[in-house]
Amino acid sequence: MTDIITVEQANIQQATAKDTLIQIVLDSVTSIHTKRAYERALNDFLDWHEAQRRPTLNKALIQRYKVHLEETLGASSINQRLSAIRKLASEASDNGLIPEQIANGIKNVSGTRQEGQRSGNWLTKTQAQQLLNAPNCETLKGLRDRAILAVLLGCGLRRTEAARLTWAHIQQRDGRWAIIDLVGKRNKRRTIPMPSWAKKAIDAYAVELARERRELVGMREDAPLFVSINKGGRISGDSLTPQAIRNIVVSYTAALGFGDIAPHDLRRTFAKLARKGGADLEQIQLSLGHASVTTTQRYLGTRQDFTDAPADRLGLKL
């Protein structure tokens, strides 16, 4: 009996140590997507480490794990998992759990080279127009869904950004409507010009939402723009989650027979249609908030053009 208790206690201690290590890493990152990916990657690595009878953590071990991953995973998946392990080594060193020299060795494990360029999906102008027209605008849910599709296609938002929108984000700048001071990836703040048809979609949704709620929409400016609506048409007041927005996009694109289309493909479509319409490349980068925008602004002194924005070049309408 004593031996059994000892084994159980040891298992609990190991599980606790594993959870503590993972939590140290998760606390060091802000993106919910990064947290989710790192948690999965570190659980897999620590399970493998346990199956190997917990050998010493060092560069050679991580290289051996990399070889193990290469038997089943592609380059991008392997590199993501190695990134999580490097972060684990860095945080463990900072917290005095492993020597800095060991951590530096682990951080120097190279990633797997990815051959070729990852292909994305884009909608044609005709398909994008069909998608905008797909929701049933006789219902509140349909009006909400059309407004969501409008900001994804018309402003190039990420699904997480669309989920975080509040009524306060919708304001006028230089005589046009825009999404103001949106905090996106890596906590970068940007303002995105909005095409008139996207604002029209939001207005139609706002009118019906106000009628259903029997109050003026937007009086509470911190209220979420896109709220949850159940199958019976009842409003919960809770903000839609990024996953819910993905489900909305997938449901409409699948019904239209467009194949495997995700919200990020609508972001790509925004960029491609705007470019085909003659929008300036730097202006598209500013609207999308890509990491290279700051460098582009610094070198070229590029400023957002609110009179001729990428959103005006899409050629779509309601």
> CA 304, CA 300: separation in Å to the nearest integer?
12
- Active-site residue (options: 113, 118, 231, 299): 299
Q: How much of the chain exceeds pLDDT 90, in percent?
A: 48
238: left (phi over 0), alpha (psi -120 to 50) or beta: beta
- Asked if 240 and 226 count as a contact pair (C-beta separation under 8 A), the reply is yes
Q: Which of 68, 107, 173, 185 is catalytic?
A: 185
Q: What mean pLDDT value characterizes the chain?
A: 84
Torsion angle defined by CA atoms of residues 35, 158, 135 and 140, in that order, rounded to the nearest 10 degrees: 70
pLDDT for the residue 121: 80
Q: Assess whether 185 carries a catalytic annotation.
A: yes
Quote the pLDDT of residue 303.
Answer: 60
* Domains observed in the chain: 2-107 (1.10.150.130), 125-313 (1.10.443.10)
Write out pLDDT tens, residues 144-161.
Answer: 999 999 999 999 999 999
The closest of 263, 250, 293, 239 to 156, measured between CA atoms, is: 263
pLDDT at 2: 37
Segment 235-254 mean pLDDT: 90
pLDDT reported for residue 6: 41
The active-site residue out of 87, 158, 159, 272 is 158
Is 164 among the residues known to form the active site? no
Please tell me the least confidently modeled range out of 35-39, 67-71, 232-236. 232-236
Q: Pick the catalytic residue: 40, 68, 173, 264? A: 264
CA atoms within 13 A on the CB side of 297: 15
Residue 267 annotated to the active site: yes
Tens digits of per-residue pLDDT, 180-233?
A: 999 888 788 899 999 999 999 999 999 998 888 765 454 457 889 999 988 777
The single-letter code of the amino acid at 19 is D
Q: Over 70: is that where the pLDDT of 12 sits?
A: no
Tell me which of 85-94, 242-251, 272-281 is least confident: 272-281
264 is catalytic: yes
- pLDDT 10s digits, 259-311: 889 998 998 899 888 888 888 888 888 888 877 655 334 433 456 677 778 88
In the set 141, 267, 272, 313, the catalytic residue is 267
Q: How many CA atoms lie within 13 A of 132 on its CB side?
A: 25
